Structures are given as C-alpha cells and as structure tokens.
Amino acid sequence: MKASIIESPDQVRLAEMALPAPGPGEVLIRSRAVGICGSDVELYQGTRPEGFYRYPLVPGHEWSGEVAAIGEQVRWLSMGDRVVAESILSCGTCRNCRVGLTNLCEAGSHDERLAIGRRLGATHTINNKRDDVEQCVRDLTEGRGADLVFEVGSRAAGVELSMRLARRGGRLYSKASPGQALNTVIALREGALKVLLIHDENGR
C-alpha cells in the first residue's frame, strides 16, 4: 500500500509499505477519504511541541473508508462496510465509553488495555487502581521523576499528580482548566516545571 511519510520538517515522500494483516478482533480498513488536521500541518512544518511525535511518521488520523479484511472473532462488521475511524483507543465497556465519552475512557486501570499499550510500544505500564503511580515513576527514574508528563484528563487530582510525577526542570503538557491552571503557574514560578497549557478552541 502507498503512504505519505514525513521524514523531517518540510520533507515528505510517497512510499510503498507492507499491507498489515488484521489480528483477532481487528479489521483492516481501506481508506477512501482523509482529512488534514491542524496537528498534521504542525508535524509537516516542524512546529508541533516536542514529545508528541518522532520522525519519520505517517500522518492522517482523521479518515473514513471500508472494511477490506476481517480478523478472527469479529462479529459486528462485514466486508465492504463503510466506517469512520476513531483515533482514540478506548475500551468500549467502561462507564464513560457506554455513554459515548470515548475520549474520557477510564480503561487506563484495566490490565488488558495496558497490554495493548505494551504491544504498541510502551516499555512500562502502570495500573493506577492497583499501583502507587508516583512511587512507580520514581522507581523507574531512579528517584528523579519523569522528563515529560502529559496531563489530558483535566481533573484537579490528575493535574496535581502530574506535577508530582515530573522531575524538577521537567516538562508538563496540561489541558487544565483556567482555575486548575493556577497550580501549574505556581509550579512554574517556583522553577519546578516548564509548563505548556493547552487551550480550548475559544482561547481560554
């Protein structure tokens, strides 16, 4: 199959890539339409904040198409079905997923979803329902804390935890609300972190 590969800022090439085979519970989709997201433009221009990506990469996470191959144990889709992709991994069974809030999937605490993370390249995973997250991060970093922390849940407890997980002088990317942002600003003034607050579409 053909794919556009961004090798580095302003450097794109069209390449042939091996056609993946769907595993159990998976399907292969033949893309028919692809949108260009603002993040794709940033990846091409090289202006995306550090830590979100690694070159070379294949952009394009907003797309639709049709089912081209079906793996074992798939019962809810058929060959030729038209589908739209969801770029966020979600379990489909937790409370938030059942009401359509897949972007707020609570499955980070489920071992089976953490296994998917390891399969996708994570070297370490932490079950926050069973493990002491802060202690695990300290153990993995020899007590220093993480160089880079992403906080995207926007909950007060998560914002506070993310600041404790980052090392002194580390980086924190947060979607904290304006009220929660006060804590990150305090941390920044104390020199503890380099903080990037990710605003919403209204610039708040």
Q: Which residues pair with 149 in a beta bridge?
A: 172
User: Residues 134-167: pLDDT tens digits?
Assistant: 999 999 999 999 998 887 766 667 777 888 888 8
Q: Which residues of 158-195 are buried (b: 16+ CB within 10 A; e: fewer)?
A: bbbbbbebbbeebbbbbbbeeebbebbeebbeeebbeb
49 upstream amide cis, omega within 30 of 0: no
* Between 203 and 46, residue with greater pLDDT: 46
The residue whose two tokens read 């038209």 is: 82
All structural domains of the chain with their residue ranges? 2-84, 89-131, 133-204
DSSP state of 103: G
Which residue from 182, 175, 169, 180 is spatially nearest to 196, judged by alpha carbons? 175
CA nearest neighbour of 49 among 203, 154, 204, 172: 172
Superfamily of domain 133-204: NAD(P)-binding Rossmann-like Domain (3.40.50.720)
pTM given for the model? 0.50
Angle, CA of 187, 190 and 194, to the nearest 5°:
55
pLDDT tens, residue by residue, 31-76: 999 999 888 999 999 988 776 678 999 998 889 999 999 999 898 8
**What's the full length of the chain, in residues?**
204
**Could you identify the residue written with the tokens 């144990």?**
73
* Most trustworthy range by pLDDT among 69-78, 99-108, 114-123, 195-204: 69-78
How far is Cα 162 from Cα 153, in angstroms, rounded to an integer? 10
What ranges make up the beta strands (E) of 19-145?
A: 27-35, 62-70, 82-84
Options 3.40.50.300, 3.40.50.720, 3.90.180.10, 3.30.70.260; CATH for 2-84 is 3.90.180.10
Q: Rounded to whole angstroms, what are the CA distances from 68 to 29, 56, 77?
A: 5, 26, 11
